[in-house]
Amino acid sequence: MGPHRTPRPERTADEARNRAPRPEARPAPGPGPGPVGTPPATEPGTEALLDPRKAAILKAVVAEYIDTAQPVGSAHITGTPGVEVSSATVRAEMAALERDGYLVQPHTSAGRVPTDKGYRFFVDHLGRPGTLGAHERQEVRRFFAHVHGEVEDLLGRTSGLLAQLTDCAAVVVGPGHESATILSVQLVGLSPRLALLVVVLSDGAVEKRTVDVPEQATDEVLARAAAHMTAHVRGGTLARPRAVPEARDQVVDAVLAAGVEALGGLAGGDEQNHVFVGGSSRMASAFDAVETVRSVLSILEQQLVVVELLEDILDRGLSVAIGAEHGFEPLAACALVVAPVAIDGEMAGTIGVLGPTRMHYPRALAAVQLVGERLGERLGGAPAEPPARPPRAGARPTPEAKAGRAH
């Protein structure tokens, strides 16, 4: 399923009921408002409970479960960095982590899997986002160097890029047009009674709306009306378009009246045009329970909830919300990684990924941060970065390239 956009409808009564109280969550490292690597605030007693060995074991369990999606036994992590102890000691520590709520054992004979609390500890103590491999970074550079077209096309294709990098659903909320000024207006005839109003804005966006026009509105009449409108509305905004005086021609004035009315309607539809979701079909393979898949896909189709969650998470100073932290019951099995999109230091949109709580957090944080930064630069008019030169045939791969293939 490709990137798509839908209007943002009002929240229904059922959606409001699904909204559960949010447990407190701590800011995670990564592309949030705070600096990367800032030591997170901790719950009382957390550090005392998780000594270095328990912390190392928990991190190893989370990393193993993210990679395999299988309950993790002591034998799988014994001998990993920080866990150079006997398998019996690992089992005892895992049992203690289960009592403290960081792990859970699905079956008595199975290994253990992380809880939301375990994932939260893992994310809070990453220290910094992961690093995308050299191939993925080059892919991002190449994308922003070559993507062209209208802003809407850029945003839609960016959601597809982010979904591809993270294997999660991606949401891109683009900037509104509040401060963008009108550069030009065109009227293109579609039929004897119908024309298309095309408005070009200073931020590169192109807004369109169909207009009913008199049957006598020839191409010449439409061109005269468009030139008259451009001369008077240029420099204004969609929210506050400048007045357009009559042209003292009955047919042209009829077209102008219809065009001015359509121009005013574009301001009211501004917020509906810049919400894009890519990769929602990837969620079908992320969950075992059919009902969970159906619920998540339904939310993604509505889009309103996801967009509000992105904004809410950032408003709370977070960059990651895990499970029940975001407070929306149908997405209790999901995690969100978000970042603001800034243009010249001002927040102009939001970008994020939605996936299972078992998502690859280091990769998701790195991808959201990098793509968000590049998108902000592109929307702000920064020159496209030239794509990196591909390696020579037979060249020895760098450690970063090896790491990228390992992911």
What are the tens digits of pLDDT across the range 14-73?
444 445 445 555 554 444 433 333 334 344 334 445 888 999 999 999 999 999 989 999
Answer whether residue 71 is part of any domain.
yes
How much is the average pLDDT of 335-346? 87
Q: Are residues 111 and 199 in the same domain?
A: no
Answer whether residue 389 is part of any domain.
no
Cα–Cα distance, 330 to 352 (Å, whole number): 18
Answer whether residue 397 is part of any domain.
no
- Give pLDDT, residue 219: 92
Q: Per the structure, how many domains does the chain have?
A: 3
Q: Are residues 55 and 135 in the same domain?
A: no
Q: Are residues 186 and 263 in the same domain?
A: yes
Q: Are residues 150 and 283 in the same domain?
A: yes
Looking at 223, 249, 272, the residue that finishes a domain is: 272
Looking at 253, 272, 291, the residue that finishes a domain is: 272
Q: Are residues 246 and 104 in the same domain?
A: no
Q: Are residues 339 and 224 in the same domain?
A: no
Share of the chain above pLDDT 90, in %: 41
Sign of the Cα torsion 72, 76, 77, 80 reads: negative
pLDDT at 332 over 90: no
pLDDT tens profile 155-168: 999 999 999 999 99
Q: Are residues 259 and 293 in the same domain?
A: no
- Give pLDDT, residue 100: 93
Answer whether residue 15 is part of any domain.
no
Residue 312's CATH number? 3.30.450.40
Answer whether residue 16 is part of any domain.
no
Choose among 135, 173, 126, 142: nearest CA to 3. 173
How much is the average pLDDT of 92-114? 91
How much is the average pLDDT of 127-144? 88
Least confident of 167-171, 287-291, 316-320, 340-344: 287-291
- Give pLDDT, residue 179: 64
- Give pLDDT, residue 260: 93
Answer whether residue 390 is part of any domain.
no
Please state the pTM of the whole predicted model: 0.69
Angle between helices 361-379 and 116-124 (to 10 degrees): 60
pLDDT tens profile 375-389: 988 887 655 444 444
Q: Are residues 279 and 350 in the same domain?
A: yes
Answer whether residue 231 is part of any domain.
yes
What is the CB-side half-sphere exposure of residue 268 using CA atoms within 13 A?
6
Give the domain range for residue 298.
Answer: 130-175+274-379
Q: Are residues 278 and 370 in the same domain?
A: yes
Residue 87's CATH number? 1.10.10.10
Q: Are residues 316 and 280 in the same domain?
A: yes
Looking at 248, 272, 296, the residue that finishes a domain is: 272
Q: Are residues 233 and 325 in the same domain?
A: no
Q: Are residues 292 and 360 in the same domain?
A: yes
Residue 211's CATH number? 3.30.390
Residue reference for tokens 């007693």 = 45
- What is the β-pairing status of strands 194-201 and 103-104? unpaired
How far does Cα 232 stand from its chain's mean position?
A: 38
Answer whether residue 391 is part of any domain.
no
